[in-house]
Amino acid sequence: MSTTWHVLGAGSLGTLWATRLARAGVPVRLIVRDEQRLQAYQCAGGLTLVEHGEAKTYAVPGETLDNEEPINRLLVACKAYDAENAVARLASRLAPGAELILLQNGLGSQDAVAAKVPQARCISASSTEGAFRDGDWRVVFAGHGYTWLGDAGHPVAPIWLDDLTAAGIPHEWSTDILTRLWRKLALNCAINPLTVLHDCRNGGLQQHHCEVATLCAELTELLEQCGQPAAAEDLQQEVERVIHATAANYSSMYQDVANQRRTEISYLLGHVCKVAARHQLHLPHLHQLQQRLIAHLHSLGLPSD
């Protein structure tokens, strides 16, 4: 019998992973916040995945954070700002040798989580898959992509990647996961805040070429100075390529703001500005972008952390 996957967070990515694992016959359990959510989940009868317009429900067993069963493998699928506290609540349930897979975008939350569970192996992931919720316990698979997984402190791939293959989750083990996370972070910092401030789709940034180029220059300087030169290579060209390739899309931050949801700003632009300060780098345009974004979020009554 293979090891059970506990999935923390019944949101878009958590549901996307849990349903595909369940479909492949891999044992999986969903962790929800409290008894009330558990009852609501049980009434719904499972998690629903909508793929190619077809909805299918999987009766993934649910439990609350307070369940006492040990956890060997935990997929952390909440937002970056929730990850540390959510994992802290589960720390006592982690079995010796437990592994955590951290799906959070940006940087900062992975280290915060790892510090809460020094006894566990933490594997970071960077995903280009896309999903959104169209109802409670329901997710629409919106964009096929890839997930890179890696452990900066331990390059050996875990055996359970076979479960992902069985589940049809496209993935690759990465021995330079930090570079991947930094690269994605830089792309997100060059694109997402500007789409919010200019109120545009990604393609709208083609009208703001100089502003994008200036941010890319500062991001490149930061990456080179903080030991991530590979993540800096041809950054501007890639940012321009992504803007072009995703011209019709709204960035994830744009969507969060449009839906009055808290953004992950602290783990994106906030993290970049924090690292720049630590390296005593003067990056005025990134700093100003952060201030403009914070002011904008305040004006909308949204949290700026």
* Options 56, 79, 184, 274, the catalytic residue: 184
Which C-beta is closer to ligand NAD: that of 17 or that of 283? 17
The residue assigned the tokens 């989750």 is 169
Q: Which residue is nearest to ligand NAD (CB)?
A: 11
Please tell me whether residue 257 binds ligand NAD under the rule CB under 6 A.
no
Structure-block tokens of residue 26: 């891999």
Residue pair 76/121 in contact by the 8 Å Cβ criterion: no
Q: State the nearest-atom distance from the C-beta of 188 to ligand KPL, in Å.
A: 4
Which C-beta is closer to ligand NAD: that of 131 or that of 223? 131
Please tell me whether residue 287 binds ligand NAD under the rule CB under 6 A.
no
Q: Which does 228 bind (CB under 5 to 8 A by kind): ligand NAD, ligand KPL, none?
A: none
Q: CB within 8 A of 64, min separation 6: which ones?
A: 31, 32, 33, 34, 35, 37, 38
Which C-beta is closer to ligand KPL: that of 154 or that of 241? 241
Q: Which does 104 bind (CB under 5 to 8 A by kind): ligand NAD, ligand KPL, none?
A: ligand NAD
Q: Which does 78 bind (CB under 5 to 8 A by kind): ligand NAD, ligand KPL, none?
A: ligand NAD
Q: Which of 7, 131, 189, 257 binds ligand NAD (CB under 6 A)?
A: 131
Please tell me whether residue 273 binds ligand NAD under the rule CB under 6 A.
no
Residues in contact with ligand KPL by the rule CB under 6 A: 187-188, 191-192, 202, 242, 246, 251-252
Nearest to 254 by CA among 305, 181, 182, 203: 203
Q: Give every strand in the sheet of 47-51, ordered side by side.
A: 54-58, 47-51, 138-143, 130-135
CA–CA dist 215, 191 (Å, integer): 9
Please tell me whether residue 11 binds ligand NAD under the rule CB under 6 A.
yes
Q: Which stretch binds ligand NAD (CB under 6 A): 10-18, 112-120, 154-162, 280-288?
A: 10-18
Please tell me whether residue 13 binds ligand NAD under the rule CB under 6 A.
yes
Q: State the nearest-atom distance from the C-beta of 284 to ligand NAD, in Å.
A: 27
Considering only residues 47 to 106 of the shown chain, the ones binding ligand NAD according to CB under 6 A are: 65, 77-80, 82, 86, 103-105
Q: Which does 251 bind (CB under 5 to 8 A by kind): ligand NAD, ligand KPL, none?
A: ligand KPL
Q: Which does 21 bind (CB under 5 to 8 A by kind): ligand KPL, ligand NAD, none?
A: none
Q: State the nearest-atom distance from the C-beta of 245 to ligand KPL, in Å.
A: 9
The set of long-range contacts for 24-29, using a CB threshold of 8 Å and a minimum separation of 24, is 24/163, 24/166, 24/167, 24/168, 25/166, 26/2, 26/163, 26/166, 26/167, 27/1, 27/2, 27/3, 28/4, 28/60, 29/4, 29/5, 29/60, 29/61, 29/62, 29/63
CA–CA dist 266, 244 (Å, integer): 26
274 part of the active site: no
Q: State the nearest-atom distance from the C-beta of 300 to ligand KPL, in Å.
A: 18
Which C-beta is closer to ligand NAD: that of 133 or that of 208? 133
Active-site positions read 184
